[in-house]
A = this chain, B = another copy of it.
Amino acid sequence: MSTPHAQVVELFVTGDEVLRGTIADTNSATTAAKLYPLGFTVRRITGVMDRGEDIRRALLEISARADWCLVSGGLGPTSDDLTAACAAQAAGVELRLDEPWLAGMRARWAQRRAEPMPLNNERQAWVPEGCELLGNPDGSAPAFALRIDRCHFFFLPGVPREHHRIVDELVIPRMLAALHGTGHTAHRSRVLQCVGIAESKLDELVSPARLAHPKVRFGFRTKFPENHLSLAARAETVAEAESLLAAAEADCRKELGSFIYGQDGVSFAQAIGNLLVARSQTLACAESCTGGLVSQLCTEYAGSSRSFVGAFITYSNDLKERAIGVRHETLVAHGAVSRETALEMAVGAREKSGASWALSITGIAGPDGGSAEKPVGTVFIGIAGPNGVLEARANLFRGDRGQVRTQSAFAALQLLREQLTR
């Protein structure tokens, strides 16, 4: 078998809801981002409706082109779930009832409901003759693997949570194991998550490391305003893969320095929350133009209450005065969008909350409200903390209302991170 870099991988998505735009196909991007650093580049993504001819036609086209294909969707219990039947028809085999899977489905059903399982659901236990049943840790539609012509197909449920777990636990290990002959069965990967650096700059900074570590695969993923670098090493043994990865990671970390805030799925706010917990410190916010976005980011992970106390969303000037004691004279003299107001918001939020640190944000997110002196995108970000820390910075962000708000929230968190890592 050839090296994985030469393997042709395709993704195939079925479903009226995708082709009608009822939902967007996000499974493909997530899966492609996992496969790429392992050396499996997706050559084509195909989507068709729940229409037998279209599904069979695409399967047979792919079967002559690709070495691997991950199929998403159409394994449910309803009449428009055609994928298992189409897979059998394309392969020229019959469907068979998998009795153990059916028994398992019935047992799961009985645990949760009083009424008998609908007959329709039994459809999900019919799979093509000769397939390898992969199962489904989280659902009743079993994934299965089936070879058609030269291509190894994996048929997976489309529900994202089920889909992604099966890709991780059942598909990727089989793809890597099938490459045993190349001697690259062990793999280790790492995602280095960065803020404050554009993708092109990230690419440029790590390119010497990429040249120096040809056995490690480099990939990029944008999650505005963050950019992530993924590294993946394959080797004969786990120890060798770990050593290849560690050497490349060390070089990347040297180049990227403090642009890296975390790794392997931690969020930016969570990484900062961890720094606060390590110091037994807490955070509060006073947000105006971001309308609670920093608070959202600070509370979206479990356990956030250990470091996040809360926030004052002082959207009106009146509430800036009432809730956190910004002085009326300050608002009159300098305006709500000013360094002076940002400073008083930070001081007030810290005092009123009793938190160790307070961040403040006041600005013009647009599209209205800008002026020649303070155009849309003007945002003042303040911080107040222990040992007399108190400062505010002016920013001018580009983009639409949502982009200005997102950049403001990240800049505020970054201001705190600088204090916590200096």
Point out residues on A near B: beta carbons under 8 Å.
13, 17-26, 28-36, 41-49, 51, 54, 58, 199, 219-222, 284-285, 287, 291-296, 298-300, 302-305, 308-316, 318-319, 322-323, 352-354, 366-368, 401-402, 405
Nearest CB of chain B from residue A280's CB, rounded to whole Å: 14
Nearest CB of chain B from residue A334's CB, rounded to whole Å: 18
Q: Contacts A24-B26, A44-B47; is A302 near B367 (CB within 8 Å)?
A: yes
Q: Contacts A300-B291, A311-B313, A322-B353; is A23 near B29 (CB within 8 Å)?
A: yes
How many Å lie between the Cα of A298 and that of B290 in the bound state?
Answer: 11
Closest Cβ neighbor of A367 among chain B residues: B302
Is B24 a contact of A24 with CB atoms below 8 Å? yes
Show 28 residue pairs from A and B whose CB-CB distance is below 8 angstroms, ordered by the A residue: A18-B32, A19-B43, A20-B42, A20-B219, A21-B33, A21-B34, A23-B29, A23-B222, A24-B28, A25-B45, A42-B49, A43-B49, A43-B51, A45-B46, A46-B46, A287-B292, A291-B292, A292-B293, A292-B299, A292-B313, A295-B313, A300-B402, A302-B401, A304-B315, A309-B318, A309-B319, A310-B319, A323-B323
Nearest CB of chain B from residue A358's CB, rounded to whole Å: 12
Q: List the B side residues contacting A366 at CB < 8 Å.
A: 302
How many Å lie between the Cα of A42 and that of B26 in the bound state?
Answer: 18
How many Å lie between the Cα of A313 and that of B304 in the bound state?
Answer: 13
Q: Contacts A291-B304, A296-B292; is A322 near B24 (CB within 8 Å)?
A: no
How many Å lie between the Cα of A76 and that of B405 in the bound state?
Answer: 28
Contact of A368 among B48, B303, B354 (CB under 8 A): B303
Is B30 a contact of A21 with CB atoms below 8 Å? yes
Is B22 a contact of A18 with CB atoms below 8 Å? no
Is B33 a contact of A44 with CB atoms below 8 Å? no
Q: Contacts A303-B368, A319-B310; is A20 near B49 (CB within 8 Å)?
A: no
How many Å lie between the Cα of A44 and that of B59 in the bound state?
Answer: 13
Q: List the B side residues contacting A300 at CB < 8 Å.
A: 291, 401-402, 405
Contact of A29 among B25, B54, B294 (CB under 8 A): B25
Q: Contacts A20-B42, A293-B292; is A309 near B302 (CB within 8 Å)?
A: no
Closest Cβ neighbor of A303 among chain B residues: B368
Is B310 a contact of A323 with CB atoms below 8 Å? yes
Q: List the B side residues contacting A47 at CB < 8 Å.
A: 28, 44-46
Is A32 a contact of B20 with CB atoms below 8 Å? yes
How many Å lie between the Cα of A412 and that of B401 in the bound state?
Answer: 24
Q: Contacts A298-B291, A313-B310; is A221 near B21 (CB within 8 Å)?
A: yes
How many Å lie between the Cα of A234 and that of B310 in the bound state?
Answer: 52
Is A312 a contact of B309 with CB atoms below 8 Å? no
Is A354 a contact of B292 with CB atoms below 8 Å? no
Is B305 a contact of A316 with CB atoms below 8 Å? yes
Contact of A352 among B30, B36, B323 (CB under 8 A): B323
Nearest CB of chain B from residue A243's CB, rounded to whole Å: 26
Q: List the B side residues contacting A310 at CB < 8 Å.
A: 312-316, 319, 323
